[in-house]
Structure 1
Amino acid sequence: MSDFSPGQRWISDGEAELGLGTVLNCDTRSVTILFSASQETRTYNTRQAPLTRVMFGSGDRVLSADGWHMVVDDSKASDGLITYIGEDSQGNPRELPETKLADTMQFDQARDRLLTGQVDRNDWFDLRFRTLHHFQRIEQHSALGFSGPRIDLIPHQLYIADEVAHRHAPRVLLADEVGLGKTIEAGLILHRLLLTGRAERALILVPDSLTHQWLVELLRRFSLNVSLLDETQSQAHGSDNPFESAQLVLASQGWLFANPQRQEQALASQFDMLIVDEAHHLDWNEAGSGPGYRCVEQLAAVIPGLLLLTATPEQMGINSHFARLRLLDPERYHDLERFKAEESHYTEVASAIDALAALPGDPDARARVSAVADDRDSQALLATLCNSEASKAQQDTARAQLSEALLDRHGTGRVMFRNSRRHVGGFPERRLHLAPLALPPAYRRIVRRLERDDDYLDELLIETGMDHPDVLIYPDAAYRELSDDPLNSEPWWHIDPRVNWLLEKLSDDGDSGFANDKVLVIAHHRETAEGLAEGLRVLGGYHAPVFHEDLSLIERDRAAAAFADDEDGAQVLVCSEIGSEGRNFQFCRHLVMFDMPQHPDQLEQRIGRLDRIGQLNAIELHIPTFEGSPGQRLLRWYHEGMDAFSAPHGVGSELFEAFGDALADALLDDETLDEIIAETRTMFSAKLAEHDAGRNRLLELNACRPARAQQVIDAVRELDEDPALPRYIERALDVFGVDSQEIGKGLIHLKPSQHMLDGLPGLVKGEEGYTATLSRAQALARDDVQRLSWEHPLIREMMGRVLDGTMGNSALALLRHDAIPGGRLMAELVFRTHCPAPKKLHLNRFLPPTAVRVLLDESGANLTSKISFTGLGKNLQKVNKSLARDLIKSRHDQLRQLLTQGEGEAERQLPSIVENAEAQMRAHLDAELARLTALAEHNPAVRGTEIDALKNERQALSEAIENTRLRLDSVRVIITVDADR
């Protein structure tokens, strides 16, 4: 006779997602089941139906079709149907026929799946437990967010990222010199904030020319998928707000700054973080501000976090620098004169920090320190340092703590980080190669007339429409503008000796030639770059891509890619001035400056395209210059007045502000120029000494604290070398159906198998997959190789799928052991802490989902401490699902009892988990709160909102931890069998 009766409730073993089914009709051969929730009907053979009868027992919670819940106490059967007896949520006695159970009931919890016979593979259960263990460990690790990115472990970058990412809604200026990795620092900060939940949405605004570079960099280095938004894509969203279309939005500054409607949409989009690259282009003065500055100012007022990136924080002087700081904290930086006065105090603080090295023996040093160590704690540390009875270890500790305190309380590191090449070290030599050339007749006529006729300059400015001193510095541009002159009938590149000089260098395979090397050429004007590329093609047969401001983003990227290609790429790339901003060409060592920029910071931007961290060769700077020309005089000012070609000095803006106008007037007068160069050199030396003693010295000390940077590096290396990672990856790939093949040199190739589970990042069925490595060095050496880490999207996705889904949350296995008789039952229960809290609290650093394992035998004895998870797993054997369902059905009552007992055993461990998490949280936040509160008394850069936010965070975390509960995460039933079977 059939076990089926109309009205009974069953679930499909192979299609549990169909929900709760109802028997419509049945006979001796077949049964038809209606799954109302999914509107599906199935007909099965009664002898082989992959179905499990749904039967609830005492303590189970069920849902009626009318929407009310009942906790089952008992049940009764009549005509093959069950009626459940229990109480509803109000405590009222109720009865619920199984025909009235809700069709939408899902059996995804471990208890429900087990008791309804839905069991997974044993290796799935094993992976689930290990995933929970590793997730708990990694979420609490101090290197979370820093170990995954494809970066070198460079101290100053990791220090800044760690310092900034720990703050509530960080608002800072990243102002490292060109080539020191501001983009990497911003990416690290963003990556950590995203992984910890402190930020979920970010808006990144960059110059038009850098949008694709940022897009690629964030994807390649940080595995962050960013949506590039422009007007075309915005219009495709119709009336919807395009900024709501993605969590991470990248947009060009030029597009957004010129579009008030899009600005309003961005303001309404509730971003957590705003990142602005090349922020020195934002125009502000006390009288007013430009559209770009106003846009960023409005966004910064509503977006909690703000990162401003600029290699030249004082490019346009102290006023420009103050303007950036106003964006970070308008309440703190509201008075320009007061800000200037504060800057003057930095020399005294820097002198005191340097004087610490001379203590305790130098009375003068003690006086310098005491003058700024004006609070009780600092004076106590100073007293310890100068105490003759204190041990050397005590004095060293006091010296280190006092240095930290002075930097914290008087330094500028709360809002600005600036590392210099001198401070970081390890940069290659810069070599200057000057190539004096004779002025061609067409250029010489103009220069000679300018030297003889004082009025001709005014005539030339009117005739060419150019500005002064451009008309003097760029003779090819003046030649082009005078094209109506019969003497100027040929293209400028036909008559310009610099073009032939470059062609000779490109073909020269000697020590001074470029024949076997890449060459970057930068000229000031777009027209010059285009003409030069044409001249190289016509006169020498060289294909030289051109990179300038009028190209589309795709065209710029195509030009840069053609230059970067080692095998078939172009030998030379010609850029206009825009090519000197943002782009990284460190694979190249030869830079040709076809002409001179007018501003020292533009000169440094040019050199910084090659002179970057990671550059392995000396930088060869080649400058063709016309003898006796204004351009050569400008070069002399750079070279002799401020040593601009040897290294960045950070004082060019101040020198240009002081001498720029006089320099422009002296470009035709060697005698006056000599005087200006001498005055420039004097001021250069004085300013360098002043900055080194004051603000720059403080920034240098504060921008990278070596001991803390090393701690971050050690933590990252600990995760890099984690022996558990390769073992976990192997297990996870096997469970998810990904084939992995070792191909030598630490590389593996990942390829989807026919049985791969869908939705894994980078892996699509039918495609070839990709090559990966666990080695950071391998991944850095090869862009085509992905680096697997605990933070890689594939690993994060697999862990998330395991922990957030049902995979492996119920299983059954056989245990064959000589010492254990057959027929015994054990239940291995894994509970997980559950603590709902907003992501922004980053609760997981103190209390991530934590596993509590309980192993019970059939008598209820707790064997957890006697039999480890790994030890037990080694002796388990798999069992087919149909036998597993039969075994579970035969032990229902016993299993229910063990599940209930296991909850009690686990609950006894919860108080210690909660207490430990609370202690960790308070130890961390109380110390940080005390530090910030004391710091705020001396350093106005500490925002009151930051302290209030930390207090609120501590309170919210305490409440969340207190409300932690345990829930059953997974359960494995273990049946013993005789060893000889």
Structure 2
Amino acid sequence: MSDYSPGQRWISDGEAELGLGTILNSDSRSVTVLFGASQETRTYSSRQAPLTRVVFGSGDRIRAAEGWTLTVDDTKEIDGLIVYIGEDEQGELAELPEARLADTMQFDQARDRLLTGQVDRNDWFDLRFRTLHHHHRVEQNPALGLAGPRIDLIPHQLYIADEVSRRHAPRVLLADEVGLGKTIEAGLILHRLLLTGRAERALILVPASLTHQWLVELLRRFALEVSLLDEQQSQAHGDANPFEAGQLILASQDWLFSNPHRQTQAEACDWDLLIVDEAHHLDWSEAQIGPGYACVERLAAGSEGVLLLTATPEQMGVESHFARLRLLDPDRYHSLAAFRAEEAHYVEVAEAIDALQRLPGAEADRERIAAVIDEPDSLALLATLANPEADAEQRDAARDQLRDQLLDRHGTGRVMFRNSRRHVGGFPERHLHVAPLAPPAAYRRVLRKLARDEDYLDELLIETGLDHPDVLIYPDAMYRALTDDPLNEEPWWQIDPRVPWLLERLADDGEDGLAGDKVLVIAHDRETAEGLAEALRVLGGYHAPLFHEGLSLVERDRAAAAFADEEEGCQVLVCSEIGSEGRNFQFCRHLVMFDLPLHPDQLEQRIGRLDRIGQRHAIELHVPVFEASPGEKLLRWYRDGMDAFSTPHGIGSEIFDAFGDALADALLDDEALEEVIAETRALFESRLAERDAGRNRLLEWGACRSERAEAVAKNILELDEDRALPRYLDLALDIFGVDSQELGGDIQHLVAGPQMLDGLPGLAKGEEGFSATFSRSRALARDDVQRLSWEHPLLREMMGRILDGTMGNTALALLEHPTLPAGRVMAELIYRTHCPAPKKLHLNRFLPPTAVRVLLDESGVNLTDKISFTGLSRNVQKVKKAMARDLIRSRLTVLRELLDRGEGEAERELPSIVEAAQFRMREELDGELARLMALARRNPAVRDDELTALRDERAALDAAIEGTRLRLDAVRVIVTVGEETH
């Protein structure tokens, strides 16, 4: 009873967040405490109250309830209550009774918590120090932000992601060919920008058919949770702006572009990054701007960073390509005529780079290079190359440097990245299997009539309502449209020979059969797809999920998932043309094109669903065609005119523009067809030669610098193979209360334990948790297994809680040592650099929070170099909290002296830390600034605001690093004990 008096100030050991408590009353059985800041009242047993008396000493700064502060110099006691004596903010002598202390005083800092008797477990203190150490190490790894995602380490993707995400407000066009991973590149860039603090809010606009795919990819590969916004979700927010509902917003282009009100709301938000997929669908011409393009143009103008994704940057010609670049930098790309003139210059640069490989050689090669360079550093490199006395090593180094300079200063890779399959390599072969079939009587009757009567085609178009040449190349659609024909009573799939052909192939278990293999079937029309799925069910007993534009996005996702399931999934998926847009079915190698699309780009999109980077099998293309039919003639045009089945070329749109009408007219004329094929072939080969000569060749050379990509991959592997990660995670899981069970195969299952701290990602009490592995390859092979890395949300959350909170910042331990007398006190002080700076500066790459450890004995002798952290931690023993508080209370004077002494010892380390950080910063940014300034003199793709931002960033970083200070982060008191104590 004598321990408590009304008006005394105490804190709760278990609920420090309640703030400072005031004793209301007490008796022999209980004590009642009011915590004024939180308006909570607690009643405890007098004998076992989890309370600690708050007593401040000389030098402590305390705050009065009225808001003024007092620096304590002395104390006196009146009727069991402490009165603090010292100087106020004006230096005047003042007194402050403890009853008038501010209720809101928090004891978050290690010094305050320690001196008020709040101590944590020793293993918490160990985890805090190790967290500081590993955080410091990982934050400085150049691959930070690229190492965590569940991806294969593919060089061109790593290079693009690294190059783009390092820029201030990146604005680029990602234009890799189909299947090379543009979505992964965009995800990597977004992930790194978010992780490093360079971006906080992003808007992602994709076609409606791809919204769920993006949602799943961002979550599964990058552990990014995005908010999928549609009209229903928007209306749920009432009058509030729905685009403010999350940091990462994913929305359908179709929905947003057709809704001016929602566009206004999206434009009212501040976006750090705008991502637009399938950007070639945005309509623009000098005469007219489409609504989608106008919307993106306004959003791009208000967003710092912009990523446009398209596999076909020139699908609709140079004008369309110019329109994309105009969105990225309207000042740079302001004139279509000037852009056309600039395109011609790229041939000279490409020829100069070719000539580099031949030097020292003919004088003409040297002149060809000299014609496109005038910078002193470039001319010096050229002189080295032409110098007959230079050795091979000097020439190779000069050649590589000059090549990189030419690509940087003259290429278009600053704003556009395009990798082609031939440049990347490693893609599977494509095998075309054509199955000639005799047309059924109903189809043959129409074809014969068309051959006899030139006017019948017009009658057929009117009668069926189909377009030309669809009515010719899709005979089943024609059959369905001729509803009045008495001979067309049976469903088309009962008379079409392609159906039994497909059923035979699916059941064939021979060497060339499809039995047991996944098979993707694509047809042009939704009605054809529906009839075909019905035929497979009725005639063959196959359950073939449907994937077409009439289904909701969720229904399409279910169909794709049913097909993808390896163990219980369906053998066949039947798609309409929409199935060729954006979906990834690379686990499958057999594509049946039940018919052929009329446009070469659609043909490539179909094949691109299977032929993607990472595909480990040859692509088998199965095409049934009716002999001597328009469909067979279309196949010949594709195969013989442009090698469309062999590999993507990216010029199909231009060829179709040139010959589409002539082809349609030739589908019923063999002689005319041969002429169209010959002319197509000539233009095809000519365009390939032009592409190889100019900008595309420059883009391919510059879109992946192999040495840089290898360096990024090496840094990622360093983090992948970090042996400290599993050890750290085991310790953290145990302390945070997460149960882990080994499942075998390097996989473990994590689940919330009964004592788990709340709010850990993916873990909630009562739920099943998740399976995870440290292995990149196993995570890639198992969609249901998460990949654990230093960047995983669970690791980031646990480390963040430790670094940002008080967990483990105080501790007391006992140490038994034969040479040390009992009762001696040591203080292990962990100081941490404190350097406030905006997140966007990403200061941590140069100066992450850095720990400075100081170990002092009670006489003030510095033992830091003599006793390591690990060695000490292994030998200390835990002590009960009540005993720890008594020990601290009994040695307050000594502890205050050690805390003051330790600060001076730690300050000696600060200058070297600051100097090293400034050196790293200046070395990187000065080099980058010099490079960009050199680029800007020749390459207008370097924006003025980019140079200004880099200069400002360097100045801000320099000032921030210079202002670095140390603060006490954690302290452990160690008390020596003799053997008799135990």
The structural deviation recorded for 1:337 is 2.1
C-alpha contact 1:817 1:875 (8 A) present in aligned 2: no
Structure 1 Cα separation of the partners of residues 390 and 27 of structure 2: 95
2:752 is aligned with 1:788: no
User: After superposition, what is the alpha-carbon deviation per residue over 1:116-160, rounded to whole angstroms, capped at 9, x for unaligned?
Assistant: 111000010010011011111111110101111111111111011
Instruction: Verify the 8 A CA contact 1:2 1:46 in the aligned structure 2.
Output: no
Answer whether contact 1:549 1:578 (CA < 8 A) is retained. yes
Contact 1:317–1:657 (8 Å) recurs in 2 = no
CA shift for structure 1 position 904: 1.6
Cα distance in structure 2, aligned partners of 1:351 and 1:767: 63
- Tell me what 1:447 maps to: 447
SS at match of 2:357: helix
Q: Secondary structure at the match of 2:84?
A: strand
Alignment of 1:288-437 (within 5 A): 288-437=288-437
Measured in 1, the distance between the counterparts of 2:319 and 2:484 equals 43
- Give 2:117's aligned residue: 117
Question: Which residue is 2:38 aligned to?
Answer: 38
Match of 2:165 in 1: 165
The range that moved more, 399-408 or 333-342, is 333-342
The answer for the alignment partner of 2:575 in structure 1 is 575
Report the CA distance between 1:53 and its aligned residue: 0.9
Shift of 1:979: 4.2
Amino acid at match of 2:228: L
**Residue number in structure 1 paired with 2:725:** 725
Supply the AA of the counterpart residue of 1:629: S
Corresponding position: 1:860 with 2:860: yes
Q: Render the CA deviation track for 1:259-286: whole Å, top value 9, x for unaligned.
A: 1111111111211111111111111122
Q: Which amino acid aligns with 2:505?
A: K
Deviations 1:60-114 (A, max 9, x none): 1111111222222222211111111222333333221111001111111111110
Alignment correspondent of 2:62: 62
Mapped partners of 1:662, 1:119: distance in 2:
85
Pair 1:550 & 2:550 matched: yes
8 Å Cα contact 1:548-1:576 kept in structure 2:
yes
Which residue does the alignment assign to 1:653? 653
- AA aligned to 2:703 is A
Q: Residue type of the partner of 2:675?
A: E
With normalisation by structure 1, the TM-score equals 0.98
Amino acid at match of 2:215: L
Answer yes or no: is 1:226 the counterpart of 2:232.
no
1:458-482: per-residue Cα shift (whole Å, max 9, x none)?
A: 3322332222222222222222222
Residue 789 of structure 2 aligns to a residue in which SS?
A: coil
1:475 aligns with 2:472: no
Unmatched segments (≥5 aa) in structure 2:
none
Q: What aligned pairs does 1:935-954 form with structure 2 within 5 A after superposition?
A: 935-954=935-954
Work out the CA distance in 2 between the residues paired with 1:877 and 1:698: 65
Please state whether the residue corresponding to 1:859 is helix, strand or coil.
coil
Question: What do the CA deviations read for 1:535-555 (whole angstroms, capped 9, x no partner)?
Answer: 222222222111111211111
Please state how far the C-alpha of 1:796 moved relative to its aligned partner: 0.7
Q: Is the 8 Å Cα contact of residues 480 and 492 (structure 1) preserved in structure 2?
A: yes
Distance 2:453 2:841 in 1: 72
Q: How many residue pairs align between the two structures?
A: 981
Offset at 1:933? 0.9
Residues 1:889 and 2:894 aligned together? no
**Counterpart secondary structure, 2:433:** strand
Q: What's the offset of the Cα at 1:47?
A: 3.0
1:584 equivalent in alignment to 2:584:
yes
Query: What residue number does 2:663 align with?
Result: 663
2:831, 2:770 → 1: CA distance?
36
The residue number in structure 2 matching 1:201 is 201
Does residue 492 of structure 2 align to residue 492 of structure 1? yes
1:528-547 aligned within 5 A: 528-547=528-547
For 1:271 and 1:503, locate their aligned partners in 2 and report how far apart those are by CA, in whole Å: 52
Within 1, Cα distance between the matches of 2:277 and 2:91? 62
The residue matched to 1:484 in structure 2 has which SS? coil
Query: Residues 480-534 of structure 1: CA distance to partner in whole angstroms, max 9, x if unpaired?
Result: 2221232323222222221221122112222222221111111111121112212
- Aligned partner of 2:213 in structure 1 is 213
Task: Tell me if structure 2 keeps the 8 A contact 1:584–1:610.
Answer: yes
1:418 and 1:406 map into 2 onto residues whose CA distance is: 17
The aligned residue for residue 632 of structure 2 is 632
- How far 1:779 sits from its partner (Å)? 1.0
2:129 paired residue number = 129
Report the secondary structure of 2:37's partner residue.
Answer: helix
Alignment partners' CA distance in 2, 1:874 and 1:979: 18
Q: 1:308 deviation in Å?
A: 0.9
Contact 1:812 1:884 in 2 (8 A): yes
- Partner-residue secondary structure (3-state), 1:822: coil
Q: In structure 2, how many angstroms separate the alpha carbons of the residues matched to 1:57 and 1:655?
A: 86
Query: What amino acid is aligned across from residue 333 of structure 1 in structure 2?
Result: Y
Distance in 2 between residues matched to 1:307 and 1:361, nearest whole Å: 42
Equivalent residue, structure 1, for 2:821: 821
Most deviating of 109-118 and 910-919? 910-919
Partner Cα distance (2:428, 2:382) in 1: 40
Matched, 1:739 2:739: yes
3-state SS of 1:146 partner: coil
- How far off is 1:179 after superposition? 1.0
Displacement after TM superposition at 1:366 (Å): 1.4
Equivalent-residue separation in structure 2 for 1:977 and 1:364 (angstroms): 86
Q: Aligned with 1:85: secondary structure?
A: strand
- Greater Cα shift, 307-316 or 386-395: 386-395
CA distance in 1, matches of 2:48, 2:619: 77
Distance 1:24 1:634, change over 3 A: same
Q: Which amino acid aligns with 1:146?
A: L
**3-state SS of 1:848 partner:** coil
- Give distance in 1, aligned partners of 2:148 and 2:624: 45
- Distance in 2, matches of 1:570 and 1:434, equals 25
Q: Which sits farther off after the overlay, 738-747 or 377-386?
A: 738-747
Q: For 2:465 and 2:384, locate their aligned partners in 1 and report how far apart those are by CA, in whole Å.
A: 70
User: CA 1:30/1:542 → structure 2, altered by over 3 Å: closer, same or farther?
Assistant: closer
Quote how far apart the aligned CAs of 1:42 are.
Answer: 2.4
**Which stretch of the first structure deviates more once superposed, 429-438 or 279-288?**
279-288
In the other structure, the counterpart of 1:461 is: 461
Structure 2 residue 530 is matched with structure 1 residue 519: no
Structure 1 letter corresponding to 2:755 = H
Once residues 501 and 793 of structure 1 are traced to their aligned partners in structure 2, the CA distance between those partners, rounded to angstroms, is: 51
Give the aligned residue type for 2:367.
Answer: A
Q: Contact conserved, 1:2 with 1:28, CA < 8 A, in 2?
A: no
How far residue 980 of structure 1 moved from its aligned partner, in angstroms, is: 5.3
C-alpha separation in 2, matches of 1:249 and 1:198: 17
Cross-structure match for 1:100: 100
Deviations 1:789-834 (A, max 9, x none): 1001111111011111110000001111122221111111111111
C-alpha RMSD of matched pairs (Å): 1.4
d(CA) in 2 for partners of 1:655 and 1:89? 81
Contact 1:591 1:607 in 2 (8 A): yes
Question: What residue number does 2:559 align with?
Answer: 559
1:622 and 1:817, CA in 2 relative to 1: closer, same or farther beyond 3 A?
Answer: same
- The 5 A counterparts of 1:892-907 are 892-907=892-907
Query: Could you tell me how far apart the structure 1 residues matched to 2:646 and 2:372 are?
Result: 36
Question: 1:808 corresponds to which residue?
Answer: 808
Name the CA distance, whole Å, in 2 between partners of 1:705 and 1:853: 42
CA distance in 2, matches of 1:535, 1:694: 50
Partners of 1:826 and 1:240 in 2: how far apart?
A: 57
Matched, 1:261 2:261: yes
Equivalents in 2 of 1:785, 1:570: separation in Å? 22
Give the whole-Å Cα distance in 1 for the aligned partners of 2:536 and 2:51. Answer: 77
Q: CA-to-partner distance for each residue in 1:632-672, whole Å, 9 max, x for gaps?
A: 11111110011111111222122112212211221111111
Deviations 1:599-654 (A, max 9, x none): 11111110000001121111110001111111111111110011111111222122
Q: In 1, distance between residues paired with 2:748 and 2:25?
A: 54
C-alpha contact 1:31 1:45 (8 A) present in aligned 2: yes
**How far apart are 1:563 and its partner, in Å?**
1.0
For residues 345 and 189 of structure 2, what CA distance do their matches in structure 1 show?
30
Report the Cα offset of residue 44 of structure 1: 2.9
Distance 1:247 1:846 in 2: 27
Give 3-state SS (helix, strand or coil) of 1:622's partner. Answer: strand
Q: Give the equivalent residue in structure 2 for 1:501.
A: 501
